Structure 1
Amino acid sequence: MSDPLPTSPAAEQPARRAMLLGGVLLALVLGVFALGKLGVLPDGAALDSWMEGMGDSPWGLPALIVVFCAAAFFGMPQFALIALAVAVFGPWTGAAYAWIATMASGALTFWVGRLAGEEMFRRYAGRTANRMAGFIGRNAFVASAVVRNVPTGPPLMVNMAFGVSRAGFLPYWAGMAIGIVPKILLIAFAGRSLIAALAGNPVTAIATALAGVAVYAAVAVWMRRRDERQRQSVALIGKDQVDNAAGSAE
């Protein structure tokens, strides 16, 4: 039996980031609870009513997709975009809409990279081009899932790098569909906890926030360790073919 792989500092990054997010989220929940009690913010019932009205709009999802796609080219952080969806449509509807909009944005930026080609991508990405290429392993599905939960670079650069590479679109998109879930769930849990804080339920708010952080940390750490066992960097465009299967052998 082989010895377990040692935990590297890189593998610990998602856990540290989750702890930091947990601390920030806890402080935010307590702050919202205090402001709600002072009457500075609307109560939970008013917020729920407003979000239900927004969620019923037939143009809500198409508008959000346009916002996500446009924002990708301006470098707006995905956390902010997902938080916007959760704030407007509520935790669970917002999470579902954010997932759909992220998938649409990911498809667009992948094909922008594919059509632009390596030369234009390197000119646009600058020094980050090689670093982006280093996160595309021989298995497109696994790499696309893992890269969503490790510090690499702007989503636009990451997705364009997949497009420039030999990665197939469907394996890339399938990996992305799974990889973006932890981040979206974290923000959805955060939104639910803030609503609970506004409703005057600090215990529920804190428990929900901590549950979201725990889910995010567990999935992110697992993905990072899997990536470290399997990663083999390849050139953006070269002789080596990218494995476009929906998984990889252990």
Structure 2
Amino acid sequence: MGLVGVSVLARDPAWAHWLDPQWLSQQGHALLALPLGPIAVVAGYVLLVLMAVPVLALIVVGATVFGPWPGMAYSLVGMVTGATVAFAFGRFTGAQGMDRLTQGRLGLLSRHLHQRGLLTMALVRFMPVAPFMVVNLAAGALRVKPRDFVLGSALGLLPGTVLISLFTDRLLSAWQAPSVPMSAWLSLLAIVLLAVGGWWWKRSQRRGQRKSPQA
């Protein structure tokens, strides 16, 4: 729905300039050229994470504004930094307060985070069982080790960040270029297939987890 809304706005002359990828890229490079530009970008990501902006939107914006590889790096660093801030808030608030705030989802997440290890945290990020912000707060409330949370979050977010950034770059190239080389379309198709394969694998893993207690 979000992509459809953006495409509709992009056709409106009043919004076309503000949503033009080339103009956005110019603004991004100008921001990074400032002395405190990179810090401002990471701070902006932290704010967006705390506002519960979806991870997909954060990665797409990063790839569009800063390019695929710099955007990938800023998205990952910004999301992990924002998640760590929310993690600290969850730890300060405690389990009871977080259970009320997350509307009872803390019990569900506790089953996924009961090992509280780096690998478990990475799997929770890679196969999201709850909204990004809820996981941040719950991990803090459940006393996950800060080292495991930060490293696990980075490792779990990395594959999706890479795929979505590259997909966004190929999609923008196809949108802007009047005639796109076959290699670009093949790259785009490969990324889509990888994303679909990851989604299918994640779904099969969830089904296996649901059946295992009954076995």
Structure 2 partner of 1:70: 47
C-alpha displacement of 1:93: 0.7
User: For 1:223 and 1:66, how far apart are their aligned partners in 2?
Assistant: 31
Give the letter aligned to residue 132 of structure 2.
P
Q: Is the contact between residue 196 and residue 204 of structure 1 (CA under 8 Å) also seen in structure 2?
A: no
Q: Deviations over 1:195-249 (max 9, x none)?
A: 3211335334422323333444556666777888899xxxxxxxxxxxxxxxxxx
- Evaluate the alpha carbon distance shift between residue 69 and residue 216 of structure 1 in structure 2; reply closer, same or farther with a 3 A threshold: same
1:89 partnered with 2:50? no
1:173 partnered with 2:150? yes
Structure 1 partner of 2:167: 190
Structure 2 partner of 1:125: 102
Structure number with greater CO (CA < 8 Å, separation at least 6) is 1
- Evaluate the alpha carbon distance shift between residue 52 and residue 227 of structure 1 in structure 2; reply closer, same or farther with a 3 A threshold: same
Q: Is the contact between residue 185 and residue 216 of structure 1 (CA under 8 Å) also seen in structure 2?
A: no
- Evaluate the alpha carbon distance shift between residue 178 and residue 219 of structure 1 in structure 2; reply closer, same or farther with a 3 A threshold: farther
1:111 partnered with 2:82? no
User: For 2:108 and 2:141, how far apart are their aligned partners in 1?
Assistant: 14
1:207 partnered with 2:186? yes
- Evaluate the alpha carbon distance shift between residue 51 and residue 66 of structure 1 in structure 2; reply closer, same or farther with a 3 A threshold: closer
The residue correspondences of 1:1-250 to structure 2 (distance < 5 A) are 51-197=28-174, 198-202=176-180, 203-217=182-196
Give the secondary-structure state (helix, strand or coil) at the position aligned to 2:90.
helix
Unaligned residue ranges in structure 2 (runs of 5+)? 211-215
User: For 1:125 and 1:88, how far apart are their aligned partners in 2?
Assistant: 32
TM-score if structure 2 supplies the norm length? Answer: 0.74
User: For 2:189 and 2:56, how far apart are their aligned partners in 1?
Assistant: 17
User: For 1:183 and 1:117, how far apart are their aligned partners in 2?
Assistant: 30
Give the letter aligned to residue 61 of structure 2.
L
Identical-pair percentage: 25
User: How many pairs were matched up?
Assistant: 200
Q: Deviations over 1:89-121 (max 9, x none)?
A: 111111111111011112111111111111111
Give the letter aligned to residue 135 of structure 2.
V
TM-score if structure 1 supplies the norm length? Answer: 0.65
Unaligned residue ranges in structure 1 (runs of 5+)? 1-23, 232-250
